[in-house]
Amino acid sequence: MKQTSAQFQEPSENMPITLPGSALGIVWSYTYGYEDVKAEIFMPQLRQIGAGMTRILFSWNQLEPEEKRFDWQSLDTFLQQLQAPEEALLTLNSASLWATRQATTLLPPSPAKDLQTYYRFVHTVVSHCRGRIRYWQNDNEPSSPLFWAGTVEEFIAQTEVFYRAVKDADPDAIVVLGGCDGLFDPDQPDADPWSKAGLDFFKRVLAEAADYFDVFDLHSYMDPYMLPAQIRYLRQQMRSYGYEKPIIIAEYNGPGFTSFPVNLQYMHMMGDWITGATSQDTGGQTQKMQEIQRTMHGLYAQIATLAPQTQMFLQDCSPALEQKRARINCRELVIRSILALSAGAQKTLYWNLWADTGERYEFMNLMFGKHKLMDYEDGELKKYYPAAQTFQRMAAALADVQQIQRLYIPEKPTIYLFTVQRPQRSPLFILWEKRDTFTGEDAPATSFTWTNQATPITATDILGETIALETFQGHTILPIKDTPVIIECQ
C-alpha cells in the first residue's frame, strides 16, 4: 500500500489565534426583539452547542425610535445572558425612520443625516454596554445596495465617526469593520461586475479607513476551498497599504442555494428581491415581491420535476434529500471553519442559530432558511438540527485551540490533513478528501496510510460515526471520504 508524506505549509500562511475569546461562534439571527422576532434567551443553548461567542444585530431605529428616546429592553435582555464581554459581537445597523437619509425600520441602512447625531447614538449605546460587550461593528456587507444606500465615501466617513464614538465610550472595545460579503474569486477578482464593485468598495475602505477599525470581517458563502486564498488576498491588500490587521469570519454557511450551477437560473429572484426591499416606490416594491411569490409558487408546484440540488432547499423535499443536504451542511460547517482558522482567521461565526421560516414562499427562506441550527418545539428553543450536533463535536475537539496547520501531501493534493494545537491536550488531527459537493459521498472510501509519528487512538467523523482503524506493515490505515474525521492521537 502506497505511503504518503506530509510537510508543513509555509509559516506565512498560518497565524496563531490571539484575539480575546473563543475561536468558534454562532450568529443569533438577523433581528432580535424586533420586527416580530422575540428577544429570546438563547445564550445557554448556544453554549450547550459549544459556541463561546455570538453576533447579534440591532438597528438604530430599534434602539432609538425617536431622537434621544432609547428603548433598552431587548438589548438588556441580551446583556443579562452574557458571562464575559468576549462572548459578543454587536452589529449596529444605520437604519432609522428619523435619523438616516433613507427612512426605514430595517433595510437598507443608509448614511446618517447628521454625523454628530450618529456619534451621540453610538456613544450612548456603547456606554450603556461598557465592559459587557467587547466587539462592535458598523453595519453589514455595505458593498451591497441591500445593506448600504450610500457611497463608499459616506461609509468611510461614518466608519471614522463610529470608531471614535466606540473608543470614547469604551477604550477596551474592539471595532470590527462592517463585513465583506466574500462574493469574489481571488484568482479572478474582476470576473463579474458584482465582484469587482464589491472589491473596489473595500479596497477604498482599506486604503482610507485603516485607522478606524481593529479587525476585518470576511463572510463565507462561496466555495469553501476559496477561503484561504480570499484571506491571503485581503491580507495582501492591507499590506499594500502598509499595515495588517486580524481577520475574522463573522458569517459562514453552506451549501447555499447558488452553490449548485443548476440553481443559477433562478437568481433573477435575488435581483428582484433586492430591488423590492430597497425601493422607496411602494407600488414597484409590491410588484417585485409579487413576481417572486409567483416564481416560488411555481417551484413548489413542480417540485417533483426539479433537479435534486433544487428540491433539497424547498421545505417539501423528500426525507432522503433533506438528509443529504444536512450531511453536506455538516461537512461544510467543519471544512469552512478549519480552512479559515488554518489560513489565519481568528474567529468563525456560523450563520445562524435560528431563523423564522414560517412563510415557505419567502425567497430568503429558499436562500437561507435551512441554515439554522435550532428551532422551537413546544414553544421552547430546544430542537437540534444535525448541524448543531456536528458543531458540538467540532467545538469539543477544538476547545482551547491555539493554532491549526495544514500538512500538505504532495502526491495526494485532494487529501486535506490538519494538525490542531491545543494546550495540555493530546495531539489532534482532522482529515478529509476533497470531492464533489453533491455526489462525492457516493464514491468508495480512499485508503489513507498514516505516517505521522503520533499514533491514532480513535477516529470519529463529524457525523458521529466511528472510523475503523487497521494496521498494515506497522502503519495505521484509515478509510476516508469527504466527511471530515477527527483523529485523537497519543
The CATH number of residue 146's host domain is 3.20.20.80
Residue 392 forms part of a structural domain:
yes
Residue 465 forms part of a structural domain:
yes
- Is 89 a residue whose pLDDT tops 50? yes
**In this structure, what is the dihedral angle of CA atoms 19, 21, 23, 29, given to the nearest 10 degrees?**
-120
Place 1 in a pLDDT band, splitting at 50, 70 and 90: very low
| Whether 248 and 379 share a structural domain | yes
Instruction: Say which CATH number the domain at 452 has.
Output: 2.60.40
Place 454 in a pLDDT band, splitting at 50, 70 and 90: confident
What is the average pLDDT across 263-278? 89
| Whether 334 and 406 share a structural domain | no
- The rounded distance, in Å, linking the Cα atoms of 394 and 20 is 20
Residues contacting 36, CB < 8 A, separation 6+: 356
Q: Percent of the chain beyond pLDDT 90?
A: 86
Domains in the chain, number = 2
Average pLDDT value over all residues in the chain = 94
Place 5 in a pLDDT band, splitting at 50, 70 and 90: very low
Q: 363 φ, ψ to 5°?
A: -60, -40
Strand, helix or coil at 455?
A: coil
What is the average pLDDT across 395-415? 95
| Whether 367 and 466 share a structural domain | no
Q: 389 φ, ψ to 5°?
A: -70, -35
| Whether 185 and 126 share a structural domain | yes
| Whether 483 and 371 share a structural domain | no
Kindly state the DSSP code that residue 291 receives in the 8-state scheme.
H
Residue 9 forms part of a structural domain:
no
Top pLDDT among 277 and 169 is at: 169
- Is 10 a residue whose pLDDT tops 50? no
What is the average pLDDT across 426-432? 96
Q: Residue 374's beta-bridge partner residues?
A: 384
What is the average pLDDT across 98-119? 98
What is the average pLDDT across 257-264? 97
Give the residue from 148, 233, 146, 114 showing the smallest Cα distance to 182.
Answer: 233
- Is 195 a residue whose pLDDT tops 70? yes
pTM for the predicted model, two decimal places: 0.96
| Whether 362 and 247 share a structural domain | yes
- Is 194 a residue whose pLDDT tops 90? no
| Whether 327 and 461 share a structural domain | no
Pairing label, strands 374-377, 348-351: unpaired
The residue from 336, 365, 398 where one domain ends is 398
423 sits in the region (left: phi over 0; alpha: psi -120 to 50; else beta) called beta
Beta strands in 277-426 (DSSP E): 348-351, 374-377, 380-384, 403-408, 415-421
CA-to-CA dists, residue 214 to 85, 178, 181, 312, 444, angstroms = 16, 11, 18, 40, 46
What is the average pLDDT across 39-63? 99
Kindly state the DSSP code that residue 466 receives in the 8-state scheme.
B
| Whether 50 and 103 share a structural domain | yes
What was the pLDDT predicted at 4? 47
Taking only the tens place, the pLDDT of each residue in 299-328 is 999 999 999 999 999 998 999 999 999 999
- Is 451 a residue whose pLDDT tops 90? no
Residue 370 forms part of a structural domain:
yes
| Whether 468 and 383 share a structural domain | no
- Is 11 a residue whose pLDDT tops 70? no
Q: Are 77 and 41 in contact (CB under 8 A)?
A: yes
| Whether 57 and 27 share a structural domain | yes
Q: Is 50 exposed, middle or buried (0-12, 13-18, 19+ CB in 10 A)?
A: buried
What was the pLDDT predicted at 15? 84
Q: Are 60 and 95 in contact (CB under 8 A)?
A: yes
What was the pLDDT predicted at 20? 94
| Whether 326 and 438 share a structural domain | no
Domain that holds residue 473: 402-489
What was the pLDDT predicted at 13? 59
| Whether 325 and 427 share a structural domain | no
Kindly state the DSSP code that residue 346 receives in the 8-state scheme.
S
Residue 373 forms part of a structural domain:
yes
User: For the chain, what is the radius of gyration of the CA atoms?
Assistant: 23
Residues contacting 48, CB < 8 A, separation 6+: 392
What is the average pLDDT across 4-26? 73
Strand, helix or coil at 247?
A: strand
Residue 282 forms part of a structural domain:
no
The residue from 398, 424, 439 where one domain ends is 398
- Is 425 a residue whose pLDDT tops 70? yes
What was the pLDDT predicted at 2? 39
Residue 262 forms part of a structural domain:
yes
What is the average pLDDT across 430-449? 97
Beta strands in 173-246 (DSSP E): 174-180, 215-220
Sheet containing 446-450: which strands, arranged edge to edge?
446-450, 475-480, 470-472
For the four alpha carbons of 72, 73, 77 and 78, in that order, the dihedral sign comes to: negative
What was the pLDDT predicted at 322? 98
- The rounded distance, in Å, linking the Cα atoms of 404 and 422 is 9
Give the range among 82-96, 211-225, 467-481 with minimum mean pLDDT: 467-481
Residue 37 forms part of a structural domain:
yes
Top pLDDT among 193 and 384 is at: 384
Q: Percent of the chain beyond pLDDT 70?
A: 97
The residue from 349, 367, 398 where one domain ends is 398
Strand, helix or coil at 411?
A: coil
CA-to-CA dists, residue 144 to 147, 182, 251, 408, angstroms = 6, 11, 15, 37
What was the pLDDT predicted at 171? 99
- Is 282 a residue whose pLDDT tops 90? no
Length of the chain: 490
